[in-house]
Amino acid sequence: FKSWSEAGPLLSSSITFGIKRDTRDRSFNATKGSITSYTIELSGGPLMGDVHFHKHNFQRVNLFPFKEKFISVFSIKGGYVGGLYKPDSVPFYERFFLGDIGYYGLRGYELRSVGPIENGVNIGGRLYFIFTFEERYRISETMYLLAFFDAGNAWQSYHDLRPFIVKKGVGVGFRMEMPMLGIIGFDLGYGIDNDGGKWVPHIQFGTQF
């Protein structure tokens, strides 16, 4: 971490490949279907530059209708980033930091607050895992309420991996599709493993699934 933070300007040249299969019945407020996606990013090596790594992300989402207006949603995602020449030669800013919302979101925790801590600083993980369960109630075609459970963590290496030692969060929220604005939402999450425990608000634009 120290060598990268003091390295100065670096040239990065990368390329990303991805594949995705989406069988949901609609892109927002879906009632059934699944999403499977995988991406790989290659930086440096034959592409030149100063930063050399490979990064992988995988996600699987399943939606199951329950009665008339209830939808159960399960999501599992994980990823790994490693150096091309040395496993740990991954820049600080390319590592995984969990928390808040977004692709690496973990509700109930502040943005980029979850990961391996070194000397009181979150240095980011090279390996991460996030599990999400949501129970949704469809108010209309353009709005739903939800209750959620998130669990995840990030680790420095496979040797540090502890799949049952994760940060957990629970809470409630809503999503709404508005003309001209798109999808907006609000979640209120409680970080079960937060020091002292507290409720954290999350404002969201767009949706992950």
Interval 81-140: pLDDT, tens: 999 998 778 999 999 999 999 999 999 999 999 999 999 999 999 999 999 999 999 999
Question: Residue 26 corresponds to which tokens in the numbers above?
Answer: 């609609």
Facing residues of 19 across strands? 38
Return the CATH fold of 2-205.
Answer: Porin (2.40.160)
pTM: 0.92
Position 6 scores a pLDDT of 47
Q: Which residues contact 87 (CB under 8 A, 6 or more apart)?
A: 126, 157
Per-residue confidence at 7, pLDDT binned at 50, 70, 90?
low
The pLDDT tens digits of the residues spanning 57-98 come to: 999 999 999 988 999 999 999 999 999 998 778 999 999 999
141 secondary structure, DSSP code? T
- Is 148's pLDDT higher than 60? yes
From the list 132, 113, 126, 121, the residue with the least C-alpha distance to 154 is 126
Q: Could you tell me what percent of the chain has a pLDDT over 70?
A: 96
From the list 180, 178, 185, 179, the residue with the least C-alpha distance to 206 is 185
